[in-house]
Amino acid sequence: MLFAHGFPEFWYEWRRQIDEFGRDHLAAAPDLRGYNLTSKPRDIEQYRVKHLVEDLRALADHLGAKRFVLVGHDWGGAGAWAFAVAHPDLLEKLIIINAPHPGVFVRELHSNPAQQQASQYMRMFCTPEAEEILTPDHYRYLIDALLTHGLKRGYFDEEDQRAYVEAWSRPGALTGGLNYYRAARMLPPAPGNAAPEPVVDVAALTVRVPTLVIWGERDSALLPGNLDGLDQFVPDLTVRRVPDANHWIVHQKPELVNRYIREFLSA
């Protein structure tokens, strides 16, 4: 099993899944390129999703996996979707957590004003000023986005905060994470502008792997509309909606996430 994290996480996102599934699988959760301890290419083009796909393929090959289970969240989920399209023969099963399928997401960015508004942060992340916005007061912006809710409710603690701040503080790590947004070809239109009509090739984006999608419905960045019509792209699809969880469901409800994954793997 390979676990691919999102922004602004690092391998640490999956610590509870590694503890659980490492009991009966070879379970690996790497830092994705640009994050924490990994290499950090300077060329923004090196953060295109196709390179993330190749990183995951190469890691699986290095570990000797002929076929494996791929789990992805956020940008790791974007890579996981792309991996399943490109290499279905390498996957036993695919598990996605709050990461939209590209064919659905481009539709939502075109036609759903609520998703357009919710995605405006992506435009800010692409600006040269993004690091200056996210860094002050010991990464207060990122702490509030990821950790503050959990610190108040007990699913994060001060040790977790120290781990994240240490990862964000490594030279080049924040820029590496932001470069995924800068390299993306899929951004919301600026307020007041119309999005171009998308051209979606359903056949080219079809996922021919048994797929579980777990979705915290209180996600304020990726709205539940990203589940509508998903079965058009994923014929063998299981969806688990969690009404009282948000984008950080992996941290909020690790036992539930693990249970849903266990049920899916044993089906």
Q: What is the CATH number of the domain that holds 73?
A: 3.40.50.1820
pLDDT of residue 199: 82
Residue 206 included in any domain = yes
251-255: long-range pairs with CB below 8 Å, 24+: 251/13, 251/150, 251/155, 251/156, 252/150, 252/155, 252/216, 253/216, 254/16, 254/17
Single out the catalytic residue among 47, 164, 180, 181: 181
Give the global pTM.
0.97
Residue 249 included in any domain = yes
**Is there a contact between 168 and 176 (Cβ–Cβ < 8 Å)?**
no
Is 181 in the active site?
yes
Residue 241 included in any domain = yes
pLDDT of residue 196: 76
Rounded Cα distance between 257 and 239, Å, is 12
Is 155 in the active site?
no
Judge whether residue 206 has pLDDT over 80. yes
Single out the catalytic residue among 5, 101, 247, 251: 247
Single out the catalytic residue among 74, 164, 219, 251: 74
Judge whether residue 194 has pLDDT over 90. no
Mean pLDDT value across residues 128-144:
97
Q: How, if at all, do strands 68-73 and 91-97 pair?
A: parallel
First to last CA, the chain: 16
Is 61 in the active site?
no
Residue 166 included in any domain = no
**How many domains are contained in the chain?**
1
Confidence of residue 197 (pLDDT cuts 50, 70, 90): confident
Residue 12 included in any domain = yes
- Supply 92's token pair: 């036993």
Mean pLDDT value across residues 160-166:
98
Among residues 83, 34, 33, 37, the alpha carbon closest in space to that of 60 is found at 83
- What are 45-98's pLDDT values in tens digits? 999 999 999 999 999 999 999 999 999 999 999 999 999 999 999 999 999 999
Residue 140 included in any domain = no
Domain around 242: 2-127+173-266
pLDDT of residue 198: 82
Kindly report which listed range (8-17, 181-190, 222-231) carries the lowest average pLDDT score: 181-190
Rounded Cα distance between 1 and 91, Å, is 10
